[in-house]
Amino acid sequence: MKCELVFVGTELLLGDILNTNAQYLSKKLAALGFDVLFQCVVGDNPERLKEVLKEGLERSDIIITTGGLGPTKDDLTKEVCASMFSLPLEMHEESLKRVHDYFKAKNAPMPKSNEKQALMPRGAVVFKNDNGTAPGCAIEKDGKHIIILPGPPREMHMMFENGALPYLKKYSTHVIISHSVRTFGIGESLMAEKAGELLDMQNPTVAPYAKSGEALLRVTAKAETEEEAEKLIAPVIGEIKNRLGSLVYGIDRGSMEEAVVALLKEKKLTLATAESCTGGLIAKRITDIPGASDIFGCGIVSYSNEIKHSVLGVQNELLEKYGAVSEAVAASMALGAKKASGADVAVSVTGIAGPASDNTNKPVGLVYIAVTDGENFRIKKLLTGHAEKGCRDYNRTVSASVALNEVRLFILEKESNKKDIESFIKSF
Amino acid sequence: MKCELVFVGTELLLGDILNTNAQYLSKKLAALGFDVLFQCVVGDNPERLKEVLKEGLERSDIIITTGGLGPTKDDLTKEVCASMFSLPLEMHEESLKRVHDYFKAKNAPMPKSNEKQALMPRGAVVFKNDNGTAPGCAIEKDGKHIIILPGPPREMHMMFENGALPYLKKYSTHVIISHSVRTFGIGESLMAEKAGELLDMQNPTVAPYAKSGEALLRVTAKAETEEEAEKLIAPVIGEIKNRLGSLVYGIDRGSMEEAVVALLKEKKLTLATAESCTGGLIAKRITDIPGASDIFGCGIVSYSNEIKHSVLGVQNELLEKYGAVSEAVAASMALGAKKASGADVAVSVTGIAGPASDNTNKPVGLVYIAVTDGENFRIKKLLTGHAEKGCRDYNRTVSASVALNEVRLFILEKESNKKDIESFIKSF
């Protein structure tokens, strides 16, 4: 099926809002095996909308609109779409009741103008709105379809999933399913090299991508049903995992923090953090995950040397001799967090996020990370290579990701963490 | 001038990338006083691109394209645009040298295919690319203009600023300038009420907006020059500040953390944080700001009761009697952070971010915030009202924002923070 997307809203033409609906719907339609030929944005202008719909209906089988379903006079998407198929608007009683109920639940009086939102083109398949007042719908004539959805993403996503998607699935002859194998600590080209001849497969296809310091392999299959597609994909993901080993930290959306929290829970271990340049970002990312309290109780942000000493017990001699950004201080910070918290494992980060360096000649982007269980440890020196204007965010994000990954590897590769920390600290 | 935007790229139609260029360019053109009538996305397909350009040139004065300037056979934007004005492509020697230099700087061999990027329509005004290999250009015929820009935002933004913007300014008869007055702690409707008759002004206009828990007033003026526009805006912003007082925390982009860091620097005060439900987010936001080390040395994430007691010195009796999410524990946490850090001011947050509640009958979204200088304090009880699926992010973000705002108000409204904390803690 050929599709076009029409986004209605002067606020989009003025740049007041970012059009995330475009990406959302394009992805969903690609997964249904539909071809999206055009995306178009028009203002709240019935003449221009008519023009766009007319052209679209000549070229394509399905048009999806978002926006212009509000209660004001400007909001005319439904009216214009109905007129394309010469359909009158009629009051849809169930929708009217929903609009009334929506206001009742908020204990607010319903403005008369909201009634208009319950008007529907005759014969439309109506989609209810669980997150707002504007229902959506699908209308059809001579094999051409117009799907009318609200503009606010919260409302549109839910309505698409529950209403439009089941409607569209009937017209889908095949599905396209993708899974992403997410890796950490390997560049895109080296990852691609390890994937080797898998990249030449036809169904599923395997394609490498790089994204904010991570590399991933996307495995995409085309099949008649979801199950068939998953069956094609599973062995390929298995083979990729074989080849990449612990470089793979998750499949699909799982963020690094999700992977680490899940691993700690599985191993029944608790974690503490001691952060300097990341300034709380690691703790924040861990506690982004619901249920993090099972494995996380204590984080220390020791942004100044005084706090590194007074709260984490880092010896002033180490700070003076090696500077705050050093292997010795990272190790000592981790040990201090472990002691202060009583956690099983502690991770520390100290580095120079930029834009300015500290008062040493160390480069912006130099970061030391230490992980310890009080006996063994793992130390990582990171040079992000980023010192340009605006590097601060990048350096902090990457440092936090690498630190989380080091925790993961510390736990997974216990055998290789055999150094005795007391003698290590003494060696400085 | 009437404008249209044409974005070229199959990756946009597949939903692989979010089209941020649309918002960027729309904003820039609105500021020039141009009307953007349409935005359109087409794939790497010369026939469809031709169709879109033909229609656009009939309706509008200026078309801006992004994308399709790469070195591969698929990349045909320049070729198709030139054909619309019957212009041949010619090698642009200066651009060719730049492409060669780009690869030389990377110490990489230049693929032959990249030479194509230096081909330009005859008579074009060429825009150099400081962040990539593809130059852009502007071509004109019979008063109609096509501006051709690369797709990657990093390349496009800089080329727009340095090349396309000066070119377009010649056709701008007026400018439109906006400033946002950002408030915190007041709803959109109450803010609008206080703005009163200012909302009826014609030039500048004053319009209320709500955005992620904050309300803002956008003041927009139209004038012949930027200075004139600024002159129209300044007194209106002054009047809004008069009416809203300390509810206003910044003008334009300044985030709440930027406002707080600036205020602390101005008053030469240092801050410490003690976070439970926000889990490091406040410390993270403070240290997002370069130079935060001047005012921030210590943050404690006391996610468990044990750490609230052992690191922050919260009495176990308070935790048992009132629970971790209570006014008493918030006050005690702030006092503990103040003592552990030696900072001038400390802020604490303890609450239930969700999705699950703690093992009390307190509701998800209940948060206590305390600010203290060791003598006086300010306590805030917050009920976000959000307990739905996915509320966690919202509750944490809002809690952190309110906490930062409380620090701001604690400093600005010192006179109203007169309660003695020791007797307050004893009162529990």
pLDDT in tens, A38-69: 999 999 889 999 999 999 999 999 999 999 99
Name residue B40's beta-bridge partners.
A40, B6
Name residue A223's beta-bridge partners.
A175
Chain A hits for B17, CB-CB cut-off 8 Å, are 23
Helix (H, G, I), strand (E, B) or coil at B152: coil
Instruction: Label residue A103 by pLDDT band (50, 70, 90).
Output: confident
Q: What's the rounded Cα separation, in Å, for the pair A386 and A395? A: 7
pTM equals 0.78
The more confidently predicted of residues A273 and A174 is: A273
Contact (CB<8Å) B39/A41 = yes
| Segment (H or E) for B223 | strand B214-223
Nearest to A303 among B282, B297, B340 (CB): B297
pLDDT at B388 exceeding the cut of 80 = no
A277 near A349, Cβ under 8 Å? Answer: yes
Side chain identity, residue A404: L
Nearest to B184 by CA among B158, B217, B144: B217
Task: Please work out, in degrees rounded to the nearest 5, the angle formed at the alpha carbon of residue B103 by the alpha carbons of B101 and B104.
Answer: 60
Q: Is the ipTM of this complex over 0.95?
A: no
Give burial (CB, 10 Å; 0-12/13-18/19+) of B283: buried
Neighbouring residues of B210: CB distance < 8 A, sequence distance ≥ 6: B187, B188, B216
Nearest to A15 among B18, B30, B340 (CB): B30
Mean pLDDT calculated for residue range A3-15: 94
Q: Show the tokens assigned to B218.
A: 């956008």
Instruction: Label residue A102 by pLDDT band (50, 70, 90).
Output: confident
Instruction: Label residue A231 by pLDDT band (50, 70, 90).
Output: very high
Q: Show the tokens assigned to A327.
A: 């292997």
**pLDDT digits 0-9 by tens, B294-341:** 999 999 999 999 999 999 999 999 999 999 999 999 999 999 999 999
Q: Could you tell me the end-to-end alpha-carbon distance of chain A, in angstroms, rounded to an integer?
A: 68
A170-174, A286-290, B71-75 — which one is most confidently predicted on average? A286-290
Instruction: Label residue B400 by pLDDT band (50, 70, 90).
Output: very high
Nearest to B66 by CA among B117, B8, B14, B153: B8
User: Could you tell me what percentage of chain A is helix, strand and coil, using 3-state DSSP and rounding each to the nearest 5?
Assistant: 45, 25, 30
Per-chain mean pLDDT for chain A = 91
Per-chain mean pLDDT for chain B = 91
Q: Show the tokens assigned to A355.
A: 């834009």
Residue of B nearest to A305 (CA): B297
Query: What's the pLDDT at A208?
Result: 82
Q: What's the rounded Cα separation, in Å, for the pair B266 and B4? A: 46
Query: What's the pLDDT at A390?
Result: 75
Residue of A nearest to B275 (CA): A299
Side chain identity, residue A16: D
Query: What's the pLDDT at A337?
Result: 98
Q: Could you tell me the end-to-end alpha-carbon distance of chain B, in angstroms, rounded to an integer?
A: 68
Mean pLDDT calculated for residue range B5-19: 92
A-B contacts (CB, under 8 Å): 218
Contact (CB<8Å) B301/A41 = no
Query: What's the pLDDT at A253?
Result: 64
Nearest to B280 among A22, A39, A299 (CB): A299
Contact (CB<8Å) A301/B304 = no
B23-32, B184-193, B250-259, B382-391 — which one is most confidently predicted on average? B23-32
Mean pLDDT calculated for residue range B339-345: 97
pLDDT at A291 exceeding the cut of 70 = yes
pLDDT at A35 exceeding the cut of 80 = yes
B411 touching A, CB under 8 A?
no
Nearest to A61 by CA among A170, A224, A156: A170
Give burial (CB, 10 Å; 0-12/13-18/19+) of B211: exposed
Q: Show the tokens assigned to B409.
A: 């108000």
Which of A21, A26, A261 has the highest number of chain B CBs within 10 A, making it the mutation to test binding with B? A26
**pLDDT digits 0-9 by tens, B358-373:** 778 899 999 999 999 9
Query: What's the pLDDT at B104?
Result: 86
Instruction: Label residue B255 by pLDDT band (50, 70, 90).
Output: confident
Helix (H, G, I), strand (E, B) or coil at A6: strand
- State residue A269 phi and psi, 5-degree precision: -120, 150
Instruction: Label residue B427 by pLDDT band (50, 70, 90).
Output: low
Q: What's the rounded Cα separation, in Å, for the pair B68 and B52? A: 15
Contact (CB<8Å) A284/B288 = no
Query: What's the pLDDT at A356?
Result: 85
How many CA atoms, within 13 angstroms, populate the side-chain half-sphere of residue B248?
Answer: 18
Chain B hits for A355, CB-CB cut-off 8 Å, are 290
A340 touching B, CB under 8 A?
yes
Neighbouring residues of A209: CB distance < 8 A, sequence distance ≥ 6: A180, A188, A215, A216, A217, A218
Query: What's the pLDDT at A214?
Result: 77
Chain B hits for A313, CB-CB cut-off 8 Å, are none
Contact (CB<8Å) B307/A287 = no
- State residue A203 phi and psi, 5-degree precision: -150, 105
Mean pLDDT calculated for residue range A239-259: 90
- Work out the minimum CA distance from A80 to partner chain B, whole angstroms: 17
Nearest to B207 by CA among B185, B245, B175, B181: B181
Instruction: Label residue A160 by pLDDT band (50, 70, 90).
Output: very high
A276 touching B, CB under 8 A?
no
**pLDDT digits 0-9 by tens, A68-94:** 998 888 889 999 999 999 999 999 999
Query: What's the pLDDT at B418?
Result: 54
Nearest to A307 among B17, B42, B298 (CB): B298
C-alpha distances (whole Å) from B233 to each of B179, B205, B206, B227 are 8, 9, 10, 10
Q: What's the rounded Cα separation, in Å, for the pair B272 and B312? A: 12
**Which single residue is written with the structure tokens 């080329």?**
B159
Provide the residue count of chain A: 428
Query: What's the pLDDT at A82?
Result: 97
**pLDDT digits 0-9 by tens, B154-206:** 899 999 999 999 999 999 988 888 899 999 988 777 888 899 999 999 999 99
Side chain identity, residue B9: G
- Work out the minimum CA distance from A40 to partner chain B, whole angstroms: 4
The more confidently predicted of residues B222 and A146 is: A146
Strands B144-149 and B62-66, by their bridges, are: parallel
- Work out the minimum CA distance from A289 to partner chain B, whole angstroms: 9
**pLDDT digits 0-9 by tens, B118-130:** 999 999 999 999 8
The more confidently predicted of residues B419 and A411 is: A411
B1 near B34, Cβ under 8 Å? Answer: yes
Nearest to A19 among B19, B27, B281 (CB): B19
Instruction: Label residue A420 by pLDDT band (50, 70, 90).
Output: low
Query: What's the pLDDT at A238?
Result: 96
A298 touching B, CB under 8 A?
yes
Q: What's the rounded Cα separation, in Å, for the pair A356 and A345? A: 32
